[in-house]
Structure 1
Amino acid sequence: MTASSGRAPGAGPPPAALRVGPLDALAHRVILSHGWRRLVLAAAAGAAGALAMPPFGLFPALVVSLTLAVWLIDGATVGGSLRRTLGACAGIGWAWGFGYFTAGLWWLGAAFLVEADQFAWAMPLGVLGLPAGLAVFFALGFAAARLVWSRGAARIAALAFGLASAEWLRGHLFTGFPWNSLGMALGTNLWTMQAAALIGLYGLTLLAVLVAAAPATLATGTGPRARWTPSLAALAALTLLAAYGVWRVPAAPDPTVAGVRLRLIQPNVPQDARFRAEMRDKIVGKYLDLSDRAASPDRTGIGDVTHLIWPESAFPFLIQRDPQALGRIGAALPAGKQLVTGAARGREPLTRETAVFHNSILTIGPGGRIGEIYDKVHLVPFGEYLPAPLDAVLRAIGLRQFVAVPGGFTAGPREGQRILAVPGLPPVAATICYEAIFPGAIRPPAPADGAPAVPGLILNLTNDAWFGDTPGPRQHFAQARLRAVEEGLPLVRDANSGISAVVDPHGRIVASLPLGVEGVLDASLPARLPGLTLYATLGDAPFAAGLLACLLVALVGRRKA
């Protein structure tokens, strides 16, 4: 049967032309699957692809996942109108995405059990509802690929165009949620992650799909050249990618900033009833005791460091309105020392009628004086804020959002986002919690309030205690680490329960504390790379060029089919 006799151009070779090896037989069965079996297979393929994400990092799992995706689309393009096959491909994409996000984000359920009496009812919404919604992006991506689908290797470029476009949209629409973007399959290995300095996360996503989907032609090519060329090209690309990483990462450690001695405090305070306002004195005391703990002969306490770092939302009360707690902290800070801490902050004047709260980073100096302030810009939907009508409905029936702040947090003004000028540190690009997962959002678009436009480090304060000992905190750290490579900046990350770390601008972990332990982390501050990385200069322009190239290859292939 030929295309002129009713076979769609993207269906690949007819079953009779397939060779009878095990891979050919598997491809044949996948292509011929239909109905619910096809959707179950797509979901299983997507779930397998999640194993390529941290903490597993099994890139071959993504190869299997996307190879099956190509064959599934091949089968969906056989016969029927364009409208019908588009719907079939969108259905496959949704099932694939549902499997991928369910397997990769199941750990979100842990947050609903921290206060189970309040939130256990909503666990299905987080564990299944969010993946179902996010899967719509992959449905669009598979449908976009179908529009330019063709016979042969060009359909690999079609899939890369569709999925990379979908991932970019997922990272930007509806406030964005680029968690576990497919590019992270290449963004966890020290060597392959170096390309992020050139093309960023979304460029890595495009490369990951091109490389991982290429083996699909091994069982569907019409001849030895058609079967082997895409896989050999993918292997060569992966080798060049790793070779570039080996060349870019120096053998010696990166230089450090003179005179800066950091101490990161990881208190491992549980996110439960023990983190209450009435525990104020005990919690502040724990932070101060850890801060002044002797960790080595040259780090005997606060007096031997220059900067203390405490994690996100360190206090279960408004520190700005507690002179006693500020006094204790200020008295513990010798002259010339600085504390940088996360804290909830009320915008003054703070009254019941005009209450506005921010999730903030504060600097506190000797005497308890609050200096620089950064208010989180990118809030977590449903975790830190809700649309006012929905918030009112939940409270009317005795329920609330995760953060027990009336009305939730208010985002800081995006146009006012600025780099913190912390005494004794290079200009600080401040991020709180999952703000660090957004590529290209580290530096402000222009100087504000006279602050320098070019930062010297990325500071990420977070609290991952909501998610326990699950893949979630490890995925969060891996994504923050990639920002250091993209921007050519060191990363200083302090987390309540881990993972706290200092990462150099090549993505190497200089020092770290593991998940779920209480501890103190002392480290020097690596210096930023000289100049700007290509990604910091051009942003997603290289990714856009690669996306256009994939589209052109797919269109040429379709025209020849």
Structure 2
Amino acid sequence: MPRRIAASRGWRRLGLAWIAGAFGALAMPPYGLLPALAVSLCIAVWLTDGAVSGRSLGRRAGPAFLIGWAWGFGFLTAGLWWLGSAFLVEADEFLWALPLGVIGLPFGVGIFYGAGFSAAAALWSEGPARIAALALGLGGAEWLRGHVLTGFPWNVLGMALGQNLWLMQAAASVGLYGLTVLAVLICAAPATLFDAGSPRHSYGPLAAAAILLVALALAGADRVGQADPAVSGVRLRLVQPNLQQDAKFRPENRDDIVDRYIELSDRPPEAGEATPTHIVWPESAFPFLIQRDPDTLAKIAAGLKPGRVLLTGAARADEPLPGERPRIYNAIMVIEPDGTITDTYDKVHLVPFGEYLPGFLDGALRAFGLRQFVAIPGGFSAGNPAAQRILTVPGLPPVVGTICYEAIFPAAIRPLGQPIDAARPPGLILNVTNDGWFGDTPGPRQHLAQARLRAVEEGLPMVRDANTGISAVIDPHGRITAQSAIDVETVLDADLPARIIGGTIYARFGDLLFAGMLVACAAAATARRKRA
């Protein structure tokens, strides 16, 4: 079979690559079938064997690129099909663009995988070293996918390991992209069992991969052996209102919306449980500018029990100069018991086409009457990427704000170009989001899984409040201590886990170890080519 796969040509080769990539998506959340990625990558290795065999170095890049692009196209199409749900919320306006999201995005982002396979082909050789070349190419490709053109690190290959409690612990040292290198080394190793010309099957690479996988699991199990303590004097209440993206969520319904939030916030706790000290409301809590509505702020202050501090998602407007349109920010606000807004965080990493139209397309698209999904005139403005993300909240350790899919970006809690303030280290990551656009699909589950990995990388608890779910409290080892169901109106009461004192290796050094892993893979692949 490996020889037949390697011998495929033309459209048959691309079709096999697409199918293999699509099958590999079963390794991503919420399915977590790691063997599916092994099958997928083994087929990719054999296809690349056939593409580079007998070709000079200069003639390898094109065929390898097409294999990688087709593989990535299939992987992303099968893993991100649920994006189509967002185009159906306001189908009369956005249905025409559904193919662009479901097919066009994977088609374009597949270019990164093509580049990764091309890089691997340049170092390709017979034997196990080509697995290192593939890990180098795909590890670099995934890093580029997370950074180029605002970045889109959704369902990075490292999530194949990053959703298992024991295996994800390696992210505390090497991060998501380091997990990607490990996942490729482990899952592509079985391809070497069938190397052509070998006098007998070689089990060495497979045995090494199995040992590596077991070692990661045992080290992870040891790391999560003890429970994390709770922060004293803190009891969280996460409000999940389950407000759908329909006509009810309009400014004219502000009173009903605010009343719903207050009613949920003031529900009595379960028998024997402590009274909440801090209330969290999700992203897009209000379809109006709460900062300019003193009556609503007074209503919130009167409606919440005395002493409770509110953290909420909300749109925020700055004060424009005369003749200028105000800039609108997607923000997190800290509202104290008297109704005063004492601190804010403005979202830095906006969703292209969801919250704004990219500058080079903005004029052209608006000329046709098109807009971004969130109906803000002109779209949201991005916050300052170099500003501190830390929110000061009475009764809580320093809070790092993240909004929506900002939680899928490794190292995103750090201000651009600046280290974390050692004198005031963060004590938790707050993520408010609205996954109501995607319904009961894999999307919200994938979002939760990726946010969960940020807690492990940084050694910080994650408090995640989602409009329609899934809301959760996650300790700094990635254990979910409280979780809501999806598409239900509910409140989630939980203690706040304490951070890991001293942080993690990844929190201190970022992707430095990942870069070292790429260098090691390049050295292994290059050494084999020199001997060949």
TM bucket normalised to smaller: over 0.9
Choose the corresponding residue for 2:280, options 300, 305, 309: 309
Choose the corresponding residue for 2:233, options 259, 279, 289: 259
Matched, 1:270 2:240: no
Partner residue in 2 for 1:148: 123
Q: Give, in angstroms, the shift of residue 504 of structure 1.
A: 0.6
Choose the corresponding residue for 2:2, options 16, 24, 27: 27
Describe the SS at the equivalent of 1:273. coil
Contact 1:152-1:221 at 8 Å conserved across structures: no
Contact 1:443-1:455 at 8 Å conserved across structures: no
- Structure 1 residues 355 and 80: alpha-carbon distance in aligned structure 2, compared to 1, 3 A threshold: same
What CA deviation, in whole Å up to 9, does each residue of 1:390-425 have, x standing for no partner? 333333322211011111111111111331111100
Alignment of 1:41-80 (within 5 A): 41-80=16-55
- Structure 1 residues 451 and 380: alpha-carbon distance in aligned structure 2, compared to 1, 3 A threshold: farther
Describe the SS at the equivalent of 2:344. strand
Larger Rg: 1
- Structure 1 residues 36 and 345: alpha-carbon distance in aligned structure 2, compared to 1, 3 A threshold: same
What CA deviation, in whole Å up to 9, does each residue of 1:335-356 have, x standing for no partner? 4210000001111248773310
- Structure 1 residues 28 and 201: alpha-carbon distance in aligned structure 2, compared to 1, 3 A threshold: same
Partner residue in 2 for 1:542: 513
Q: Separation in 2 of the partners of 1:453 and 1:206?
A: 33
Matched, 1:196 2:167: no
Describe the SS at the equivalent of 2:60. helix
Matched, 1:378 2:349: yes
Q: Separation in 2 of the partners of 1:492 and 1:81?
A: 53
What CA deviation, in whole Å up to 9, does each residue of 1:16-73 have, x standing for no partner? xxxxxxxxxx101101111100000000000011000000000000000000010000
Bigger Cα displacement from structure 2, 212-221 vs 82-91: 82-91
Matched, 1:91 2:62: no
Contact 2:472-2:481 at 8 Å conserved across structures: yes
Partner residue in 2 for 1:7: none
What CA deviation, in whole Å up to 9, does each residue of 1:112-169 have, x standing for no partner? 0000011101111100110011100000000000000001000000100100010011
- Structure 1 residues 424 and 317: alpha-carbon distance in aligned structure 2, compared to 1, 3 A threshold: same
What CA deviation, in whole Å up to 9, does each residue of 1:328-382 have, x standing for no partner? 1011234421000000111124877331000000011122111110000111111
Aligned length: 531
Partner residue in 2 for 1:319: 290
Q: Separation in 1 of the partners of 2:410 and 2:396?
A: 23
Q: Separation in 2 of the partners of 1:331 and 1:248?
A: 45
What CA deviation, in whole Å up to 9, does each residue of 1:183-219 have, x standing for no partner? 0000000000000011110110000000000000111
Q: Separation in 2 of the partners of 1:54 and 1:108?
A: 15
Describe the SS at the equivalent of 1:309. strand
Q: Give, in angstroms, the shift of residue 514 of structure 1.
A: 1.5
Q: Which amino acid aligns with 1:548?
A: V
Alignment of 1:135-174 (within 5 A): 135-174=110-149
Choose the corresponding residue for 1:529, options 486, 495, 500: 500
Choose the corresponding residue for 1:419, options 390, 401, 412: 390
Q: Which amino acid aligns with 2:165?
A: L
Q: Which amino acid aligns with 1:381?
A: P
Matched, 1:283 2:254: no
What CA deviation, in whole Å up to 9, does each residue of 1:64-102 have, x standing for no partner? 000001000000012344333210110000000000000
Bigger Cα displacement from structure 2, 414-423 vs 120-129: 414-423
Describe the SS at the equivalent of 2:239. strand
Contact 1:377-1:417 at 8 Å conserved across structures: no
Describe the SS at the equivalent of 1:524. strand
Matched, 1:240 2:251: no
Q: Separation in 1 of the partners of 2:22 and 2:368?
A: 36
Partner residue in 2 for 1:18: none
Identity of aligned residues (%): 64
Contact 2:69-2:114 at 8 Å conserved across structures: yes
Contact 1:427-1:452 at 8 Å conserved across structures: no
